[in-house]
Structure 1
């Protein structure tokens, strides 16, 4: 009887975990303050702007993550479209009203990618690409697919 109860509790906890992962996992990083870099880059038609954020990790021996968020100017909703290790040379450029070109490279690595706003995201290591909700909603790119 006790073993059966433990199994039921375990299954319920597991189901709650999967529900939480599906319902609440997003690819959004909302960093504010000193981590913001420069002014937003506005799309040609003014519908979107792109903002660069940096996040330090790992202390003295760590590095810096690069996060690019898109802001919908009509709804003022902010959404992450790009997440990678910052390589050194970072430039945002709009190729057309819905395509953002993210240039992120150094002499050793290149993480440049063009992304269709609202349809594609980039996660360098592909962790977000493994989530069902993200796979269902976006074309997810990683360092192996560019």
Structure 2
């Protein structure tokens, strides 16, 4: 009986630890073998950055597709993820200025819009808001946006 109690306490503690870790130590999904280049690389007007959009399927036959946008500094080759969202019907990338990337990801028929303009030096967007809570990402951006934020 005592062993069962200890096991249940350890199990509960492990679950809480895992939930806390996933909530506060989120990092964007890695672009591994599952990622497929969807759009790009699209060079910024001054040639300093390249933006590439990837899609990653998840959930098997009943799942969906996640878009990940990665920006690379041309000189240093350093890459960082600036956008992560579920797939919508209409998707495109466009540079508005040397540092501002316009992302269109929408399904107007379903009233779903994940469009945003991001300064690639200081802004990120992650649909669920997990990146905005992440202690790992806190010092790496100035503005963090998620679904439901007024970003117009």
- Say yes or no: TM over 0.5: yes
Residue aligned with 2:129, SS: coil
1:1-146 alignment runs, 5 A limit? 26-27=27-28, 29-31=30-32, 35-107=36-108, 108=110, 109-138=112-141, 139-145=143-149, 146=151
In structure 2, distance between residues paired with 1:103 and 1:76: 25
In structure 1, distance between residues paired with 2:89 and 2:117: 18
Does structure 2 conserve the Cα–Cα contact (< 8 Å) formed by 1:134 and 1:140? no
Residue aligned with 1:133, SS: coil
In structure 2, distance between residues paired with 1:112 and 1:130: 21
In structure 1, distance between residues paired with 2:132 and 2:35: 28
Does structure 2 conserve the Cα–Cα contact (< 8 Å) formed by 1:126 and 1:141? yes
Where relative contact order (Cα < 8 A, 6+ residues apart) is larger, the structure is 2
Does structure 2 conserve the Cα–Cα contact (< 8 Å) formed by 1:29 and 1:80? no
Per-residue deviation, 1:75: 0.7
In structure 1, distance between residues paired with 2:144 and 2:93: 19
Per-residue deviation, 1:34: 6.2
RMSD: 2.6
Count of residue correspondences: 131
Per-residue deviation, 1:33: 7.3
What TM-score, normalized by structure 1, do the two folds share?
0.78
What TM-score, normalized by structure 2, do the two folds share?
0.75
Per-residue deviation, 1:92: 0.3
Structure 1 residues without counterparts, runs of 5 or longer = 1-9
Structure 2 residues without counterparts, runs of 5 or longer = 1-12
